[in-house]
Structures are given as structure tokens and as C-alpha cells.
């Protein structure tokens, strides 16, 4: 399956005008790598619940994670081009895309709030893929309500001691760097904790409905000692940082969902033109045609919203609400499109993992990285005032 | 070492569909660097990496050819030469204009190309090019070794393997198992935009030796064999019995 | 109108002679089998023996020069050459030397109003194209397109030709005992692909081929990349084109380049564990399953455990 198609070129042209040609070339070439080295293994990653590390490595080498940053090895590409690239990765293999997306959310945090030496030592290793990052925010007793976290960081001399448990952590166990948010004397603080730091341990893999190629586990810190220079930004300002990091991440997660939906849609479309029912091609039946139109409109509106939020982010204006809207629309649409794809395949859709895995993958993203409910609160507070 | 590699911007045969009349939908069809051409580019870059020098990538075709040239530049070629032709040319004319372009841009020690184009596979441009250039041709190489002024290749013919040796310069065609082509990084793709790309037209390369006639292509229609596409699923004992029954009914057993 | 035919493969040469005789007969001409260095045993029909100071066979560039030289004395508006790798190299050289059009891999060849026409597969065999060129022209013809010429050998005309010195030194590395004729003429072919885990497992594919009264073939990864079977077993765009009554693809995913070589099969059967494998789209019968279970079950069902 060709991942980069006319619809992508047209989207780039619509959002980037004359500059689109260079971006198209870039993404088409990335799609070539994805088609050859990622997509063919995607069904296997799902069946074997793991194994994405070589696909992830290949994309690090391609320079995917360098795209949206403008120094320290970044490629200075617009955020929208990066998000469209993540859509392509999502279409090739969703767990690989999610693992890289979250990794790059951490890279973004270090890039924007880290010290010059953290940028040189950590950020550059992150975008090159020399080190893998994990974003450790969620706790067993505080999911969407991140302020209720109980992980603590206590300053003792020139270091902090961190104690607490984080759960549903993507890349746990594989990561070299954990971006850990903990409660400190001054509020909340973010730390870069080395994967080999004494006192840090990772629990068993948590089985999941979908996104099985990527690893998810608990991260436990028991008096884990972290040098003070590993503090990111200022002590007490972590929530401000996290909020901003998550806004960008939401666009990316939305884009990954566009990719997931596209993969399911294309399979369904192919099936509809091959399969005959009552002597008639499925694709000639009115109900199928309506379904196809719905799916197509859903995918295009999701992509447009992700690119729209990206373009606002590029201008420097606040884009938190648009990012939240993009994620709501793209993730919920993806679940629906993948569901429709299963319906179109009928019994084969329900029994064939290569069809229903897209629905299982998409299903996570109305929950993770900002549940739809929380995102609606954010949008509403922008419209109506009041706390998010 | 001065290396040239000739590539084709080909129709993506895997994605090509027939329209309702059974003709290929060439308008708006996806196109790409020919599948086997990637191996030729990779081999050219490897020769440069082990022997030094520079690689010029040459592509004859329409405006889309620049896409393929840019990709070859991103993979590691140093400069590109677009030989613009408004119409499709047959193997004889293609090889003639390529030879003229190479003579102008050269001299080259090695001219590489793929065994054939992935869309229209003729396997003729290589030996023709060698003849126009008056150079030895080492065809269908699965292994290429340059040693000083000599080159040695290994070729797999239908019923035997052979090794060839000659003194450079030479024209070499490679088969796809010669190497695994690299994918350029995003940075390399961005940098490729700054590498030099020259353009000449076939008209500017014509002289009195140009082929006067060409192969004409008439109607192109889909090869329509309607396959039954009956698929058996289930335990092996059951599916194999069903298959044997089906083959008996076909009179094949 | 006389026709020259050449192939280094004697079986193919016999088929070309049939094609050539058909074309020549209409205009009261003759077809000649071009022989290089010496006349091969078992040659049919009229032969045109080319002799040079240097051996010609095995050097496509010299063969092209020799045929070009012979065409100066033997006017032949049509030259038919076997579609093999050697054939392509000879045709390419000759086309430039004599300014000839080349129709490659053509079937249904005919001469019509001073033009040579035929049909050929394009876009990996998905489409057929009508192609034509003005006489004189060369046509490359794949094996299996014509019945072999069966008339006894006729007179041999010898032509002395002068060629340039050989530019390439050549050494044979591995000669195959088995001729590719087996595949092209085979009625039943069982071909193995990437689904096979080890070279030793070719044995079960061979057993299935034996049980079905056929021979084995392979997709490119097995014959070329892995080298489990010789290049002569390679079925596909860049290998052999086959047209058996029954083609069984075992563990072959159905890459378009492979499918190009099997389109003319009467019945195609695919055995693959991946239901989404493209091979099922071009098959008459498909079995979704592990070949290591399905093939033994087939052998049992055929009474050949």
C-alpha cells in the first residue's frame, strides 16, 4: 500500500501554499522507508505484542524526531509537516508511531525548558535516537487529575530523592531517560531520571487491547536519587511545562489516529471493491457507498483539524483549545472509521486481527494523552470561562 | 573515479489500475524511481565510497523525472542531469540520447544502470548504450568489484553463472540482488535540493546519427484472466481435501 | 523475405525457427538458424554458420557484430532472437549497429504492410500492449511461444565474418546440470517462496511436485537472494515466464514481479498463511494455512504421505 498519496500532497498544498512541493518530496520519501521497513511488520507487532524496536530505530535514523526542532540537530520543519509525517507513521504502524510521538514529547520538553547542557547531552541524544525517552506523569490513583499526584521529590543537598509509582507508562523498560513529574516543596517539578538510576524499577508489561507493539508498564521509584542538574527548568513550574508539552503531543496523537483510520479505510475500500454479495460488488451497494463517504469525510476533517491546530502553533499563538479539538475529533473519528471498517468486512472483520487491530489501536487514544472528557473541559473553559 | 548511473522514472506498476475500458489509468498514476534502478544508484554510491570520485545520475524522461533525480541525489549522488524528452522514446532512442548526454557530461570510468525498467522491462538500454559509447558491456551483474583500472563482475545467466573482466571504462548493468538500496534520511533529502541539477533536451543532443525510426506502441489493454479466487480456510485436513476435490473437477489430477 | 533466428539455447532456437519459417513462408522466403563457430547437433532447418577469427559464442557483443556482418550478405528484414539475458545483449548490440527497432518479449508476431508487429506484456504483465516497428526489425521472443521446428536439418551456408577483438574476458563459474526447459514446458509446477524456513524444507515441496507429476520452481528470494535453488528456477519478470496447466505457489506472497511470470498458467493455486497475501488475488484456489501443515495434508490426501 502506498502511504503517501495525492490526498497528502493536496493537504500540504492547501495548508502550505507554494512551499508544499519540498514537503511532499520529503514525506513521500519517508513513506518509502515506512512501506519497506515498518508497514510489512505491523501485523506481526500486534500478534507478538512487541518487537517495534528495529522499526523505531529505522525512523530515528531517517531523522523523523528531528523534524520539528530548529536547532541542536533539528530540521526546522513546520510542526504541521511533522504531524503529517506522524500520520504516515501511524498508518504504517500505530504503536511505533505512539512510542516515537511520546518520546518526542519529552524531547520537546527538554528542548524548550531544559538547560543548555541538557539540550546538548540529552536532547541531541533523543532526536538522534541514541537514547529513548519515556514520559512518566500518570499515577495509579491520579489519571486525568494529574494535580492529585503523590510522587514526591525531596531535595537533599545537591540531589533530589524521588519516591512514587507511575503507571501506564509508554516505553517503560526500554527507555534510557524518564521524564518524571513529582511533587516538590515548591509545587511540581520535572526531572530527567536515568533508566539505570538506583531505586528505579519497571513492572511487568501491562497487557493491552491494542497498541500491542509498544510497551506499557509501571515505573516505580523508591528513594531514587537524581542529581539537581537533572531538574528540568525551574523547580515548581512543571505543570506549566507539561501543559504546553501535552498540547503539541495532542496534535501528534490526533495525527496518528488519522493514520490509523486511513489504514483501516483503505483495507475496507479494497475489500468492498473485491467482495461480491448477492451477485453485486459490495462497493456498488448504496449502504456501502454511504459508509465510504462518511469514512472519507471523517478522515479529511480530522486531518484538516490537526493541520489547522499545527498552523496556529507555528504562528506562536495559543493553540491549546485547537489542539484539544483536533485530538477529540481525530481520535473519536478513528474509532468510528475503524468500527465501520469492521462492519464492512462483516464476520471477517470481527475475526481477522489485521482488520480489527486498527480499531483496537485507535481505541486507546480517546483515553491516553488527554482523555476526551478532559479535552472537552479545556475547550469549554476557553469558550465559557471557568477552570478546565 | 567518475561514475555515471542512468535511471528511469517509472510508472508504479504495483499501483497501476485499469479504467473501465481496460486501459491503464496513466493519467495521475503514481510514479517512482524504477524498482531495479535503486540498486544501480546504490551500487554507484558504494563504488564512490570505496574508490572515491563522484557520481552523476542521469534520467531521461518528462518533467516528473526530477523526482527520481532528487531521490538519487538524496541517496548520495553528487549531481544530476535531466535529459528532457516530451514524448516516450523506445530503447534505441533512449540509449542514443543517454549516450550523447554522457559523452557531453563525461568522460566516465563506469556507467551503471539496472538490468531493465520495472514498468516496461526490455533489458535493452544497457547493451545499446555500451555499443553507442563503444565501451565493453558487463550485463546482469550481481557482484561488482573495481580494482584499479579493471572491473570484474559476476552475472547469473539462466543456466549458469559467469564472471567477466574488462578494463575501464565500461558499462555495467546490475540485478536487484547486487545490494540492498539505502533509504535517504530526511536531512539528506533536504540537502539534495541544494545539489546541482542540470537539464538538457533531447533536441539539443540530436545529430545525424539519431535513430530515424522507433517502436510504436498501439493499444494497451489489461491482461484479463478472471481468476476464481476461491479461498479455503480451516483445518489443513479439510482445506487440502477441498483443494484436491477442486483440482479433480478441473481435470488436473 | 528471409528471416534470421538466433538463440544460444538450442530449444529456443528451434521454436524461433518455427516462428521465422511462418513469417518467411508468406513471402516466399526462408528462415535460417544462425549458428556461431560450429553447427550445433540436432539443428533443424537451414543454418547460417558464422565463422570469425575469434570465437563468437559466449560473447554477446561479438555475436551482435557477427550477425550484423552476415546481414550484409544475407538480406534479412526480420531477425528473431531468443528472450534470454544473452539474447537481450545480442539484440541490443545488433540494433545499434544496424539501426533496427527491437520488439522485446513479443507473441503473436506478424508482418503487415512493411511492419513487424506483436503483443507484449507491460507493467509487470498486468497489461498487454500492441507494438510494432518498421522493417527491418528485431524481435525478442520468449520460450514457449511457438512449437519447436521439427523438420530435419537442411543445408548449411557458411559466412566468414570479421569482428573486433573481444573486450571482455569471460569465465564460467557454475554450470547448471538442469536445463530451464523443464520449467517452461512443464505442465505442473510447484513453486516455493519465502514462506519456506530452511533449504532442507524444499524436500516437501519436491514431494508435492512429484505427487502432482510436476517440477519445482521458486520465487526470486529463494533462487537469487538465498541461493537455495539455481537462477534457472527463478520464475518471474526477470526470470522465467511459465505457462503450466497447474501452478501451485507454496509460501509465495505474490510480489508483482513474481506474478508477471505466472499469468499464463491455466489454474493457479496458492498456499499461504497470510490471508492478505496478494497471491490470493491472482489465484483460482487458495488455502490459508501453514504450509508445513497444508503440504503434508495434501500429500496424505493424494495418497502420497
Segment C136-153 mean pLDDT: 89
E strand spans, A112-195: 133-136, 152-156, 159-170, 177-184, 187-194
- What are chain A's domains? 6-128 (1.10.540.10), 133-236 (2.40.110.10), 239-384 (1.20.140.10)
Instruction: Flag if B131 and C92 touch (Cβ within 8 Å).
Output: yes
| Same domain membership, residue C186 and residue C126 | no
Q: Would you say C144 and C10 are in contact if contact means Cβ atoms under 8 Å apart?
A: no
Residues forming beta bridges with residue B155, ordered by sequence position: B141, B162
List pLDDT tens digits, range A368-384.
888 999 999 999 999 99
- Neighbouring residues of A208: CB distance < 8 A, sequence distance ≥ 6: A216, A364
Q: Give the closest-approach CA distance of C184 to chain B in angstroms.
A: 12
C59: chain B residues, CB-CB within 8 Å: none
Q: Give the closest-approach CA distance of C216 to chain A in angstroms.
A: 27
Interface A-C: count of C-beta contacts within 8 A:
6
User: What does residue C56 show for φ and ψ, rounded to 5 degrees?
Assistant: -100, -40
Instruction: Flag if B183 and A37 touch (Cβ within 8 Å).
Output: yes
- Neighbouring residues of A236: CB distance < 8 A, sequence distance ≥ 6: A184, A186, A187, A188, A189
Q: Among all chains, which residue has been given the C-alpha cell 525517552?
A: A133
A6: chain B residues, CB-CB within 8 Å: 28
Instruction: Flag if B211 and C290 touch (Cβ within 8 Å).
Output: no
C274: chain A residues, CB-CB within 8 Å: 43
DSSP tally for chain B: helices H, then strands E: 7, 13
Helix runs in A226-352, H state only: 238-274, 286-315, 320-345, 347-351
Q: Which has the closest alpha carbon to A174: A138, A205, A128?
A: A205
Return d(Cα B70, Cα B77) in angstroms, integer: 9
What is this model's ipTM?
Answer: 0.91
From the list C178, C267, C294, the residue facing B252 with the nearest CB is: C267
Q: Would you say C38 and C49 are in contact if contact means Cβ atoms under 8 Å apart?
A: yes
Residue C170 within a domain: no
List pLDDT tens digits, range B71-89.
999 999 999 999 999 988 9
C179: chain B residues, CB-CB within 8 Å: 159
Return d(Cα C288, Cα B232) in angstroms, integer: 6
- C partners (3+ CB pairs within 8 A) are A, B
Which chain C residue has the Cα nearest residue A274? C281
Instruction: Flag if C269 and B247 touch (Cβ within 8 Å).
Output: yes
Q: Which has the closest alpha carbon to A219: A233, A206, A232?
A: A206
| Same domain membership, residue C197 and residue C126 | no
Q: Would you say C146 and C11 are in contact if contact means Cβ atoms under 8 Å apart?
A: no
Domain of C215? 181-301
Q: Would you say C30 and C24 are in contact if contact means Cβ atoms under 8 Å apart?
A: yes
Extract the C-alpha cell encoding B172.
Answer: 555495467
- Count of beta carbons in the 10 Å neighbourhood of residue A314: 16
CATH number of residue C248's parent domain = 3.40.50.1220
Q: Which of A28, A369, A373, A383 is catalytic?
A: A369
Q: Give the closest-approach CA distance of A372 to chain B in angstroms.
A: 33
With bands split at pLDDT 50, 70 and 90, how would you rate the model's confidence at C19? very high
Length of chain A: 388
- Neighbouring residues of B207: CB distance < 8 A, sequence distance ≥ 6: B100
Which chain A residue has the Cα nearest residue B193? A22
Q: Give the closest-approach CA distance of A57 to chain C in angstroms.
A: 25
Instruction: Flag if B28 and A62 touch (Cβ within 8 Å).
Output: no
E strand spans, chain B: 2-7, 9-11, 31-33, 54-61, 79-84, 110-114, 137-147, 150-156, 160-167, 170-174, 197-201, 216-222, 230-233
Q: Which of A308-312, C163-167, C225-229 has the lowest mean pLDDT?
A: C225-229
- Count of beta carbons in the 10 Å neighbourhood of residue B169: 21
**CA A360 to chain CA mean position, Å:** 15
- Neighbouring residues of A384: CB distance < 8 A, sequence distance ≥ 6: none
Extract the C-alpha cell encoding C148.
Answer: 519447436
| Same domain membership, residue C150 and residue C34 | yes
With bands split at pLDDT 50, 70 and 90, how would you rate the model's confidence at C176? low
Return d(Cα C7, Cα C16) in angstroms, integer: 8
Say yes or no to pLDDT of C31 above 80: yes
Say yes or no to pLDDT of B136 above 90: yes
| Same domain membership, residue C267 and residue C228 | yes
- The helix (run of H) or strand (run of E) holding residue C171 is strand C169-175
Instruction: Flag if A33 and B183 touch (Cβ within 8 Å).
Output: yes
Q: Would you say B74 and B41 are in contact if contact means Cβ atoms under 8 Å apart?
A: no
- Residue ranges of chain A with pLDDT lower than 70? 143-144, 146, 387-388
With bands split at pLDDT 50, 70 and 90, how would you rate the model's confidence at B32? confident
CATH number of residue C34's parent domain = 3.40.50.620
Residue C29 within a domain: yes
pLDDT score, position A86? 98
Fold classified for B2-205: Rossmann fold (3.40.50)
Longest dimension (CA), chain A: 79
Q: Would you say B54 and B78 are in contact if contact means Cβ atoms under 8 Å apart?
A: yes
C105: chain B residues, CB-CB within 8 Å: 121-122
With bands split at pLDDT 50, 70 and 90, how would you rate the model's confidence at B222? confident
Q: Which has the closest alpha carbon to A251: A55, A90, A110?
A: A90
| Same domain membership, residue C186 and residue C135 | no
* A37 assigned to active site: no
Q: Which of B173-177, C21-25, C144-148 has the lowest mean pLDDT?
A: C144-148
Helix runs in chain C, H state only: 10-25, 60-73, 85-98, 181-185, 202-211, 220, 256-259, 291-301
Extract the C-alpha cell encoding C88.
Answer: 537481450
Q: Would you say A241 and A189 are in contact if contact means Cβ atoms under 8 Å apart?
A: no
C181: chain B residues, CB-CB within 8 Å: none
- Neighbouring residues of B9: CB distance < 8 A, sequence distance ≥ 6: B31, B32, B33, B34, B59, B61, B62, B64, B65, B67, B68
| Same domain membership, residue C29 and residue C125 | yes
Calculate what percentage of chain B has a pLDDT beyond 70. Answer: 100
| Same domain membership, residue C107 and residue C212 | no
What are the Cα distances from residue B130, in Å, to B36, B109, C56, C238?
19, 12, 18, 21
With bands split at pLDDT 50, 70 and 90, how would you rate the model's confidence at B186? very high
Return d(Cα B214, Cα C249) in angstroms, integer: 39
Residue C236 within a domain: yes
Instruction: Flag if B187 and A63 touch (Cβ within 8 Å).
Output: yes
Domain range summary for chain B, segments of one domain joined by +: 2-205
The answer to whether the peptide bond before residue B107 is cis (omega within 30 degrees of 0) is yes
| Same domain membership, residue C210 and residue C143 | no
**CA C72 to chain CA mean position, Å:** 28
Q: Would you say B89 and B117 are in contact if contact means Cβ atoms under 8 Å apart?
A: no
Q: Which of A55-69, A95-109, C230-244, C249-263 has the lowest mean pLDDT?
A: C230-244
| Same domain membership, residue C137 and residue C85 | yes
Count of the separate structural domains present in chain C: 2
| Same domain membership, residue C108 and residue C52 | yes
pLDDT score, position C144? 80
Q: Would you say A36 and A55 are in contact if contact means Cβ atoms under 8 Å apart?
A: no
pLDDT score, position B120? 84
With bands split at pLDDT 50, 70 and 90, how would you rate the model's confidence at C177? low
pLDDT score, position A253? 98
pLDDT score, position C181? 54
Instruction: Flag if B193 and A22 touch (Cβ within 8 Å).
Output: yes
Which of C160, C189, C204 is where one domain is finished? C160
| Same domain membership, residue C200 and residue C91 | no
- Neighbouring residues of A332: CB distance < 8 A, sequence distance ≥ 6: A366, A372
Amino acid at each position: 500500500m502506498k502511504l503517501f498519496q495525492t490526498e497528502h500532497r493536496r493537504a500540504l498544498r492547501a495548508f502550505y501554499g507554494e512551499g508544499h512541493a519540498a514537503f511532499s518530496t520529503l514525506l513521500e520519501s519517508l513513506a518509502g522507508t515506512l512501506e519497506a521497513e515498518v508497514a510489512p511488520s505491523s501485523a506481526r507487532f500486534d500478534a507478538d505484542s512487541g518487537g517495534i524496536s528495529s522499526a523505531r530505530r529505522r525512523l530515528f535514523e531517517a531523522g523523523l524526531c528531528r523534524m520539528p526542532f530548529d536547532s541542536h540537530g533539528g530540521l526546522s520543519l513546520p510542526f504541521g509537516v511533522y504531524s503529517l509525517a506522524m500520520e504516515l507513521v501511524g498508518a504504517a504502524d500505530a504503536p511505533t508511531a505512539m512510542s516515537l510521538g511520546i518520546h518526542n514529547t519529552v524531547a520537546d520538553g527538554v528542548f524548550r525548558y531544559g538547560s543548555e547542557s541538557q539540550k546538548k547531552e540529552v536532547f541531541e541524544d533523543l532526536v538522534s535516537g541514541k537514547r529513548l525517552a519515556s514520559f512518566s506523569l500518570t499515577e495509579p490513583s491520579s489519571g486525568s487529575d494529574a494535580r492529585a499526584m503523590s510522587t514526591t521529590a525531596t531535595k537533599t543537598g545537591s540531589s533530589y530523592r524521588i519516591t512514587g509509582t507511575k503507571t501506564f507508562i509508554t516505553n517503560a523498560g526500554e527507555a534510557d531517560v524518564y521524564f518524571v513529574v513529582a511533587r516538590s516543596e515548591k509545587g511540581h517539578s520535572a526531572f530527567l531520571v536515568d533508566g539505570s538510576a538506583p531505586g528505579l524499577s519497571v513492572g511487568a508489561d501491562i497487557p493491552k487491547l491494542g497498541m500491542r507493539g509498544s510497551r506499557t508498564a509501571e515505573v516505580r521509584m523508591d528513594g531514587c536519587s537524581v542529581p539537581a542538574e537533572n531538574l528540568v527548568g525551574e523547580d515548581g513550574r512543571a505543570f506549566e511545562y507539561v501543559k504546553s508539552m501535552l498540547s503539541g503531543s495532542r496534535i501528534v496523537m490526533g495525527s496518528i489516529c488519522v493514520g490509523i483510520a486511513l489504514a483501516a479505510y483503505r483495507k475496507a475500500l479494497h475489500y468492498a471493491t473485491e467482495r461480491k454479495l448477492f451477485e453485486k460488488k459490495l462497493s456498488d451497494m448504496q449502504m456501502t457507498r454511504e459508509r465510504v463517504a462518511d469514512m472519507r469525510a471523517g478522515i479529511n476533517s480530522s486531518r484538516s483539524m490537526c493541520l489547522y491546530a499545527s498552523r496556529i502553533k507555528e504562528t506562536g499563538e495559543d493553540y491549546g483549545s485547537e489542539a484539544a479539538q483536533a485530538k477529540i475529533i481525530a481520535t473519536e473519528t478513528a474509532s468510528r472509521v475503524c468500527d465501520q471498517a469492521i462492519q464492512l468486512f462483516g464476520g471477517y472483520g470481527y475475526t481477522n486481527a489485521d482488520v480489527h487491530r486498527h480499531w483496537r489501536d485507535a481505541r486507546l487514544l480517546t483515553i491516553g494523552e488527554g482523555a476526551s472528557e478532559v479535552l472537552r473541559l479545556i475547550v469549554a473553559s476557553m469558550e465559557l470561562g471557568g477552570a478546565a | 573515479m567518475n561514475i555515471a548511473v542512468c535511471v528511469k522514472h517509472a510508472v508504479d506498476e504495483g499501483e497501476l489500475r485499469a479504467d473501465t475500458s481496460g486501459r491503464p489509468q496513466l493519467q495521475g498514476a503514481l510514479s517512482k524511481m524504477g524498482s531495479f534502478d535503486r540498486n544501480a544508484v546504490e551500487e554507484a554510491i558504494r563504488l564512490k565510497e570505496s574508490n572515491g570520485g563522484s557520481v552523476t545520475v542521469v534520467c531521461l524522461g518528462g518533467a516528473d523525472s526530477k523526482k527520481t533525480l532528487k531521490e538519487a541525489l538524496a541517496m548520495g549522488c553528487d549531481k544530476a542531469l535531466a535529459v528532457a524528452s516530451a514524448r516516450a522514446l523506445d530503447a534505441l532512442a533512449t540509449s542514443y540520447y543517454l549516450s550523447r548526454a554522457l559523452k557531453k557530461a563525461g568522460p566516465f570510468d563506469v556507467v551503471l544502470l539496472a538490468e531493465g525498467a520495472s514498468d516496461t522491462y526490455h533489458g535493452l538500454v544497457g547493451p545499446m548504450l555500451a555499443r553507442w559509447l563503444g565501451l565493453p558491456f558487463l550485463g546482469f551483474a550481481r557482484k561488482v568489484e573495481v580494482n584499479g583500472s579493471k572491473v570484474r563482475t559476476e552475472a547469473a545467466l539462466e543456466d549458469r553463472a559467469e564472471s567477466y573482466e574488462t578494463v575501464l571504462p565500461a558499462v555495467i548493468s546490475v540485478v536487484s540482488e547486487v545490494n540492498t538500496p539505502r533509504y535517504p534520511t530526511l536531512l539528506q533529502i533536504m540537502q539534495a535540493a541544494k545539489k546541482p541539477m542540470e537539464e538538457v533536451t533531447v533536441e539539443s543532443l540530436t545529430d545525424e546519427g539519431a535513430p530515424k525510426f522507433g517502436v510504436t506502441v498501439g493499444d494497451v489493454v489489461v491482461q484479463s484472466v478472471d481468476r476464481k479466487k476461491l479461498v479455503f480456510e480451516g483445518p489443513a485436513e479439510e482445506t487440502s481435501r477441498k483443494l484436491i476435490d477442486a483440482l479433480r473437477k478441473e481435470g488436473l489430477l | 523475405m528471409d528471416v534470421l533466428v538466433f538463440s544460444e539455447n538450442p530449444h529456443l532456437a528451434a521454436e524461433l525457427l518455427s516462428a521465422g519459417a511462418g513469417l518467411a513462408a508468406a513471402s516466399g522466403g526462408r528462415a535460417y538458424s544462425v549458428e556461431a563457430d560450429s553447427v550445433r547437433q540436432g539443428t533443424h532447418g537451414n543454418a547460417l554458420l558464422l565463422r570469425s577469427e575469434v570465437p563468437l559464442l559466449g560473447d554477446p557483443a561479438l555475436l551482435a557484430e557477427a550477425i550484423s556482418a552476415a546481414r550484409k550478405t544475407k538480406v534479412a528484414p526480420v531477425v528473431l532472437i531468443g528472450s534470454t539475458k544473452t539474447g537481450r545483449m545480442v539484440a541490443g548490440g545488433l540494433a545499434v549497429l544496424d539501426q533496427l527497432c527491437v520488439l522485446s518479449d513479443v507473441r503473436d508476431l506478424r508482418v503487415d504492410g512493411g511492419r513487424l508487429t506483436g503483443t507484449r506484456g507491460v507493467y509487470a504483465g498486468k497489461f498487454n500492449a500492441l507494438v510494432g516497428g518498421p522493417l527491418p526489425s528485431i524481435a525478442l521472443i520468449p520460450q514457449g511461444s511457438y512449437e519447436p521446428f521439427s523438420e530435419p536439418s537442411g543445408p548449411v551456408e557458411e559466412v566468414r565474418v570479421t569482428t573486433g577483438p573481444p573486450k571482455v574476458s569471460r569465465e564460467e563459474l557454475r554450470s547448471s546440470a538442469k536445463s530451464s526447459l523443464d520449467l517452461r514446458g512443464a505442465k505442473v509446477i510447484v513453486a516455493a517462496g519465502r514462506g519456506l524456513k530452511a533449504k532442507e524444507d524444499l524436500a516437501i515441496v519436491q514431494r508435492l511436485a512429484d505427487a502432482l507429476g510436476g517440477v519445482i520452481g521458486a520465487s526470486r528470494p529463494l533462487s537469487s537472494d538465498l541461493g537455495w535453488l539455481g537462477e534457472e528456477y527463478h520464475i518471474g519478470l526477470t526470470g522465467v515466464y511459465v505457462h503450466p496447466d497447474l501452478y501451485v505457489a507454496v509460501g509465495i506472497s505474490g510480489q508483482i514481479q513474481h506474478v508477471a511470470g505466472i499469468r499464463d498458467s491455466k489454474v493457479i493455486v496458492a498456499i499461504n498463511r497470510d490471508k492478505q497475501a496478494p497471491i490470493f488475488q491472482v489465484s483460482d484456489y487458495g488455502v490459508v494455512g501453514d504450509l508445513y501443515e497444508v503440504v503434508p495434508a495434501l500429500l496424505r490426501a493424494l495418497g502420497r504421505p
